[in-house]
Copies of this chain bind each other. A is one copy, B any other.
Amino acid sequence: MIKQLNPPRRILMGPGPSDVHPAVLQSMATPLLGHLDPAFLEIMNETMDLLRQVYQTENKVTLAMSGTGSAGMETLFVNLVEPGDKVIIGVNGLFGQRMVDVALRCGAEVIQVEGAWGDIIRPEKVEEVLQQHKDIKLVAVVHAETSTGVRQPLQELSEIVHRHHALFVCDMVTSIGGIPTKIDEYGIDAAYSGTQKCLSAPPGLAPVTLSPRALEVSANRKSKVQSWYLDLSMIQNYWGEERFYHHTAPITMIYSLRKALRLIVDEGLENVFHRHALYGRALHAGLEAMGLELLVNEKHRLHQLTAVRIPTNIQDVEVRKRLLQKYGLEIGGGLGELKGKIWRIGLMGYNARQENVTYALAAIEDVLREHGYHFISGAALEAANRYIRENE
């Protein structure tokens, strides 16, 4: 016998999903429209408008793919890459590795430019490869590496890539709505993201944006896109003026995305970025005051996702289990080569607030103490609050 749905209450401060804004949750109880209803097509238009504002672009093709962030990644590769194409992928974490896997399945010849996990991809290393190979079609990097908490600078890299006539593609799953994405200003040709991080909507959609240049590359393909489901030439015709049926859009998810984007636009993008910076840095100050070491140096550290090294003699899984049981607080463990070595603490979207900073620091302090890790009592909260007072 299967019981009533009654999940325990959690506070989601891992690498995502993050807590969904209550107004977004409510929007999902809205009855459906048909996917070709004129009223729904209007809602799609509005969603695209909002998405352009939040992505900071005027790209016409700025829409939500019907899958999670990884489907967004696959969308860009299957549409932009043909078998035999040479691509450069920056790999300094799990999501760079994933791009390599996806690109190889598209038949690409992949050249990896590596960075240490916890560091950025060095633009000069990318330029070196571009100089050695004259026929690189695209260069892809992760803007906000969810596995490490690194923020990749984009502007210089974008200039280098374009000087060599390649397309510049960015994973913005964890950056959108948390830090500036500046698609047009930086000249990013294509980007994908997710809804479950700084947008504070549930996972299930992958907002993508493509520049006219990227669309031209895609339009001039010799081979068919290997995925029917992710073929942008058809999906554009559904989201565009033609309104040609492709697949049934996930209507409720689009309601939730529209609501989430509207909350961001109403608050003001700059205010939203400031809020992430303020509380993210307050968390950093608090963790450091506890004597913990942050993985990423300050210059390249994300506000919305913080990787902190697990102190010696502290058991990763036990601490996280205890936080979940005692405090209902979810934080993330490490992935890949950082498994067991770091925790990942998110302050994304709706969760980038005083309440979450205070609660997380207090809970972590208590559980670490239970596990025998000692430091000055109350120092973490004091440091975080001081930072907020001085910078808000």
Give CA–CA (A181, B246) in the complex, Å.
25
Query: Which range contains the number of A residues in contact with the other chain?
Result: 35 or more
Query: Which of chain B's residues have a CB closer than 8 A to the CB of A252?
Result: 20, 28, 202-204, 253, 256
B interface footprint on A13-24 (CB within 8 Å = 1, 0 otherwise) = 010110110000
Asked if A258 is at the interface of the complex by the 8 Å CB criterion, the answer is yes
A38-46, A183-191, A271-279, A374-382: which lies at the interface: A38-46
Identify which of residues 86-113 in chain A touch chain B, using a CB-to-CB cut-off of 8 Å: 98, 101-102, 104-106
A64-72, A120-128, A155-163, A358-366: which lies at the interface: A64-72
Please give the distance in Å from A61's CB to the nearest CB on chain B: 19
The quantity of this chain's copies bound in the complex is 2
Query: Which of chain B's residues have a CB closer than 8 A to the CB of A338?
Result: none
User: In the complex, are the beta carbons of A229 and B74 less than 8 A apart?
Assistant: yes
Identify which of residues 35-78 in chain A touch chain B, using a CB-to-CB cut-off of 8 Å: 35, 37, 39-40, 43, 46, 49-50, 66-71, 73-74
B interface footprint on A224-239 (CB within 8 Å = 1, 0 otherwise) = 1111110000000000
Give CA–CA (A9, B39) in the complex, Å.
10
Please give the distance in Å from A53's CB to the nearest CB on chain B: 9
Asked if A165 is at the interface of the complex by the 8 Å CB criterion, the answer is no
Asked if A153 is at the interface of the complex by the 8 Å CB criterion, the answer is no
Give CA–CA (A106, B247) in the complex, Å.
19
